[in-house]
A = this chain, B = another copy of it.
């Protein structure tokens, strides 16, 4: 365990997520990435994110490995069943016993009783399952708290905990369901021991740049040429086809980081989406609202993903008119007025059909701007001229602008559909910001 920190470094935090179901490929952990984002924002350097099963020895190992950090956050293992062992393991790590907390017992009992009463209204739940004795045992288990720990009010049934290992890290214990964990976060931040620790964490002053169509090796080369000092951490990652460049200076290097950000932007201005972390989706929503435009979609290979992306944001009904998924040629003609001759002359996957789809959607939905997408998502259906991944996109506006692309996108079916969706959002934004 490397406990030697470089000068002026950020305090380290570790995340320990428990749940055997996260180790069988059945579901992916959502809490780790969420917590990593929160802790990074607060100014911690997250050194490790460990997912372990519901086995006490594994959890004990995980806690021991994090003993050199300033903060350890755990998620999961607070449920009422026998394999929920986090509280006991954390208490042992902190060197204190657990005991029944009468106040917490009363509070959890009320919540569970209310829940049991409401169960009668849950669709499809059998009403006659004899839960009562088991429920009481569960309530008792969830009210067993480490001596000296600060309890955080339950969001579901399980309380969270804040406690300290003497001479070691502050430990924050949170429930596993993502909505409960996220709902408890404000209580974590206002808990006295956490608030006290935060006063000693230098504020993160990250600069976040967003680029579209900038390959990772090119930004890597830029960073090499700019000779980024070691105490300015630059993290790049590709998300939704946008290259995100996060620049996190050690305390005191904020102005050097700002210069670095400007230098990066200067070199790749043509691909810049924003220098303040604004994504294409956010920028598009803003430009549609600013112009008072409604947008419509006509999708073939993306099958509704663009419409779903456009309506992801609250308030999107202020600028989304609607869209049509026209999977068959017949639907392209009957629902979007694509001329049958265009289909016959150029094929369903062609720039000409993409344009006719955009025009059709714009007119059908009375929108100011629309995107048409047709392509071969695969794995079958490719030809020599039109291979799997060939996607034709076209954005047209009611003031006569036409933006078209027809790339061959890489990846499997899901990736081709996602990348086509990303490119559609980008083209819509380009059309709006002219």
Chain A interfacial positions (CB closer than 8 Å to B):
1-2, 20-30, 32-41, 46-53, 55, 57-58, 61-62, 65, 80-81, 119, 122-126, 129-131, 134, 179, 212-215, 217-218, 220-221, 224, 233, 235-237, 239, 244, 246, 248, 268, 270-271, 297, 299, 302-308, 310-312, 314-317, 320-328, 330-331, 334-335, 364-366, 378-380, 405, 407, 410-415, 417
Contact = CB atoms under 8 A, between A and B. Distances in A.
A64 B119 CA distance: 47
A24 B47 contact: no
Chain A facing B: main interface SS: mixed
A261 B99 CA distance: 37
Contacts of A323: 304, 324-325
B53 A47 contact: yes
A136 to B, nearest CB: 12
A302 B39 CA distance: 32
Contacts of A405: 123
Given A122-B215, A327-B322, A335-B324, A304 B314 contact: no
A212 B36 contact: no
A305 B25 CA distance: 24
Contacts of A47: 23, 52-53, 55, 58
A307 B325 contact: yes
A430 to B, nearest CB: 11
B324 A328 contact: no
Contacts of A415: 179
Contacts of A179: 410-412, 415
Contacts of A62: 48
Contacts of A125: 213-215, 218
Q: How many protomers of this protein does the assembly include?
A: 2
B37 A33 contact: no
A28 B25 contact: no
B325 A324 contact: yes
A361 to B, nearest CB: 10
Nearest to A413: B314
B26 A237 contact: yes
Contacts of A303: 304, 307-308, 310-312, 316, 320
A42 to B, nearest CB: 11
17 contacts: A1-B61, A21-B236, A22-B49, A24-B36, A25-B33, A26-B244, A27-B237, A80-B217, A125-B214, A126-B218, A297-B304, A303-B308, A314-B379, A314-B413, A321-B328, A322-B328, A331-B365
A48 B50 contact: yes
B239 A27 contact: yes
Given A134-B224, A303-B320, 12 more contacts: A21-B237, A24-B36, A26-B244, A26-B246, A27-B237, A28-B30, A47-B55, A50-B51, A81-B220, A124-B270, A131-B217, A335-B364
Contact of A32 (B51, B126, B271, B306): B51
Contacts of A335: 322, 324, 335, 364-365
A46 B52 CA distance: 9
A304 B81 CA distance: 38
Nearest to A3: B57
The 7 A-B pairs of least Cβ separation, nearest first, read A25-B37, A124-B213, A303-B311, A304-B307, A304-B304, A2-B57, A21-B237
